[in-house]
Amino acid sequence: MADHGDQAFRRKDTHGRWREMTYGGALSFLRRNYSRDLDGVDVVVSGVPFDNAVTFRPGCRLGPQAIRAASVQLAELQAFPFGFDPFDALSVIDWGDVHLDPHHPETVRPAIEAHADAILAQGTRMLTLGGDHSVTYPLLRAHAKRHGPVALLQVDAHCDTWDDDGVTMDHGTMFARAAAEGLVDVARSVQVGLRTFNDSDHGFEILTAPWVHRYGIDAVLEVVHERADDAPLYLSFDVDGLDPAFAPGTGTPVAGGLASWQALELVRGLKGLNLVGMDVVEVSPPYDHSEITAIAAATVAHDWLCLLAEQKGAKRTEIGRL
């Protein structure tokens, strides 16, 4: 039994996985090794437990823990619908959580940006578990330094482009700031699932939730692929993009959103795009029920990793009608 159990801290190889009790063992995202050695690593998973910028219900500082706990079943079997173990091809570690000082909020964004800078400098991609949506701003700053202006695919109930004074720490203004600073190429960017109003689209292509319901995910993907093309694409997935029926555990729920299956089909349809980074934010466990929201968040992150595994040579084995 030397190669069973507690693989998050016992296994040395960053590929593959051990047998593990789903209800036991050390928790990491998808049971990946806890490590800060980036040698040969393709993707670093890290948490940003911060929610001081919320405008309604708090609690998403506990999101990274909840997403890790919800990922255990996804680490048990071959990935669906891909039919492979993504970690046979892809080297992924769990870096742990960024250390933040909430008593000095002016230090939070620089700490997140410095964390991302250090990881991206090694040529490693990032999968970040939030935290409130304001954490995406310093992540975009770091990614833009590495890749130039990125195409942004934002799944969200809210535009997050409300008026910004350049100073306020707010989870509803950061994409206006990112656009103004040239961190994102708005002509290549798409916002999906919106169902709140702003007076300006700031140049983003907006596919509202009713539009998605009316025309379907294939139509969404057609727009995303056409807009992003070969640009570096950053996916920012706010779980409130899902309807509260599928994601009750979030701070600013809005009725009429995407179903979890629509979100998964959207992520899986990003195959072939230049995927450079992703975050999953706004999971608030105190408002969740039976881990519904955390499971959805873990699954969209898992499926994004599977796309990267395909880029590294993983081959699909399709069973049944897909």
Domains of the chain: 36-311 (3.40.800.10)
- With DSSP H G I counted as helix, E B as strand and the rest as coil, what are the percentages for the chain, rounded to 5? 35, 20, 45
What is the structure's pLDDT at 146?
97
63 neighbors 110 (Cβ within 8 angstroms)? no
Q: State percent of the chain over pLDDT 70.
A: 99
Residue whose structure tokens are 């919800």: 70
Greater confidence (181 vs 198) lies with 181
Per-residue pLDDT at 1 exceeds 60: no
Cis? peptide before 131, omega within 30° of 0: yes
Strands (E), 65-124: 92-97
Is the sign of the CA dihedral 252, 253, 256, 259 positive or negative? Answer: positive
User: Structure tokens of 174?
Assistant: 């950061």
> What's the mean pLDDT in 306-310?
97
> What's the mean pLDDT in 279-285?
97
Closest CA to 74 of 17, 26, 127: 17
What is the structure's pLDDT at 110?
95
> What's the mean pLDDT in 201-220?
95
> What's the mean pLDDT in 83-99?
96
Per-residue pLDDT at 22 exceeds 80: yes
What is the structure's pLDDT at 169?
72
User: pLDDT confidence of 171, banded at 50, 70, 90?
Assistant: confident
Residue whose structure tokens are 């050390």: 26
Greater confidence (158 vs 167) lies with 158
Q: How many CA atoms lie within 13 A of 130 on its CB side?
A: 31
Is the sign of the CA dihedral 259, 260, 261, 264 positive or negative? Answer: positive
The residues near 205 (Cβ < 8 Å, ≥ 6 apart) are 189, 190, 191, 223, 227
Look up residue 25 and give its DSSP letter: S
